[in-house]
């Protein structure tokens, strides 16, 4: 039993339209689900991924309208890393992100940048043979496209405190951190020394990182987390996957999410993310909810590539 790398990363946006423009426009991902926060149906929960809406490529955002900019600190994820194919791909993104006004910083085998709300990300030249998870954007050549997550980095002032739980979840030492690697994908997790300034949740910060579980192993991962001292939530049905959540000792919120049923549970693959999807309990309130949330312009649909 192994976790299949990162399932999704969820962050916070205060600017939903700018968020769509950046992720479905500049970064060339596909908006694969437009739904509302299950705890507050007046605000969006937006999902971007590859063409198929695959786990392993899915970055999601809770919309907190008007949220103040946050700041990553101790116990928070500070960088989300994606894979790309080559140095040429890094060159493509250095140019494209720079043209879009994003701050970029080119390294030897990586390119760091921030989204419009300051969420730090990194493109790394892939060193693994995991199948690339590609979205199809007219301005992004396939050879340059993002290939899914490589991993995340977090701040921790006591990384050793997390060792027992990570080992219980079958993470293995890799590079300067850890890797959760299953039969088809792996994802990296590493810590850095926190800054002096305290972190603050807010726009541009990561809310949680989810690790991928086979559906029939999900309950057993929950049991393992409990046995290792974590306090997981009960299994929650998120419709597109099932989830449990717990804080790992550094303070980072972990989720373990199932590989399936997936984003085609309530709409066809061809038109993922175009219509507002509502959890069954909220369907009767559709008219009211659609009148409340701000209309969003999806650059991809406008370009006729639904
Ligand atoms: Zn999640």
Q: pLDDT digit string (tens) for 213-241?
A: 999 999 999 999 999 999 999 999 999 99
Share of the chain above pLDDT 90, in %: 95
How much is the pLDDT for 17? Answer: 97
Q: How many domains does the chain have?
A: 1
For residue 210, the CA-to-ligand 1 centroid distance in Å is: 6
In CATH, what number is assigned to the domain containing residue 213?
3.10.180.10
How much is the pLDDT for 301? Answer: 76
Instruction: Tell whether 63 is covered by a domain.
Output: yes
Residue 204 CB-half CA count within 13 A: 20
Question: For residues 68 and 220, what is the distance between their CA atoms, to the nearest angstrom?
Answer: 38
Residues with CB under 5 A from ligand 1 (ion): 10, 210, 255
Does residue 159 contact residue 39 with C-beta atoms inside 8 Å? no
Question: For residues 69 and 53, what is the distance between their CA atoms, to the nearest angstrom?
Answer: 28
How much is the average pLDDT of 263-292? 94
Does residue 206 contact residue 119 with C-beta atoms inside 8 Å? yes
Instruction: Tell whether 247 is covered by a domain.
Output: yes
Instruction: Tell whether 246 is covered by a domain.
Output: yes
How much is the average pLDDT of 52-58? 98
CA 126, chain centre distance (Å)? 18
Which residues span the domain enclosing 57?
A: 6-302
pLDDT digits (tens, 9 = 90+) for 112-144: 999 999 999 999 999 999 999 999 999 999 999
pLDDT digits (tens, 9 = 90+) for 177-207: 999 999 999 999 999 999 999 999 999 999 9
For residue 107, the CA-to-ligand 1 centroid distance in Å is: 30
How much is the average pLDDT of 269-276? 95
Q: Does 95 have pLDDT greater than 80?
A: yes
Instruction: Tell whether 1 is covered by a domain.
Output: no
For residue 7, the CA-to-ligand 1 centroid distance in Å is: 8
For residue 11, the CA-to-ligand 1 centroid distance in Å is: 9
For residue 63, the CA-to-ligand 1 centroid distance in Å is: 14
How much is the pLDDT for 299? Answer: 86
Q: Does 305 have pLDDT greater than 70?
A: no
How much is the average pLDDT of 165-169? 98
How much is the average pLDDT of 56-82? 97
Classify 89 as helix, strand or coil.
helix
Share the mean pLDDT of the chain: 96
pLDDT digits (tens, 9 = 90+) for 30-43: 999 999 998 889 99
For residue 18, the CA-to-ligand 1 centroid distance in Å is: 21
Residues in the chain: 306
For residue 258, the CA-to-ligand 1 centroid distance in Å is: 11
How much is the pLDDT for 303? Answer: 67
CA angle (87, 142, 146) in 5-degree steps: 65
């Amino acid at each position: 039993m192994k976790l299949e790398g990162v399932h999704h990363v969820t962050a916070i946006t205060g600017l939903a339209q700018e968020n769509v423009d950046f992720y479905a426009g500049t970064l060339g991902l596909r908006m694969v689900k437009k739904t509302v926060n299950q705890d507050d149906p007046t605000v969006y929960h937006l999902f971007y991924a590859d063409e198929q809406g695959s786990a392993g490529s899915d970055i999601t955002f809770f919309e907190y309208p008007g949220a103040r900019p946050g700041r990553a600190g101790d116990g928070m994820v500070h960088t989300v890393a994606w894979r790309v194919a080559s140095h040429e791909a890094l060159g493509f993104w250095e140019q494209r992100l720079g043209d879009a006004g994003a701050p970029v910083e080119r390294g030897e085998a990586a390119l760091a940048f921030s989204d419009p709300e300051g969420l730090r990300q990194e493109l790394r030249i892939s060193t693994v043979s995991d199948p690339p998870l590609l979205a199809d954007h007219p301005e992004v050549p396939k050879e340059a496209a993002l290939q899914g997550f490589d991993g995340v980095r977090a701040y921790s002032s006591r990384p050793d405190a997390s060792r027992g739980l990570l080992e219980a979840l079958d993470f293995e030492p890799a590079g300067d951190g850890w890797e959760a690697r299953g039969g088809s994908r792996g994802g990296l997790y590493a810590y850095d020394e926190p800054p002096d300034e305290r972190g603050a949740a807010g726009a541009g910060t990561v809310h949680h990182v989810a690790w991928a579980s086979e559906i029939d192993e999900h309950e057993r991962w929950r049991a393992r987390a409990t046995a290792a001292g974590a306090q997981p939530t009960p299994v929650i049905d998120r419709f597109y996957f099932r989830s449990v959540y717990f804080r790992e000792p550094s303070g980072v919120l972990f989720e373990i999410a199932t590989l399936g049923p997936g984003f085609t549970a309530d709409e066809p693959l061809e038109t993922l993310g175009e219509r507002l999807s509502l959890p069954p309990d909220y369907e009767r309130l559709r008219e009211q909810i659609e009148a409340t949330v701000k209309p969003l312009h999806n650059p991809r649909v406008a370009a006729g590539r639904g």
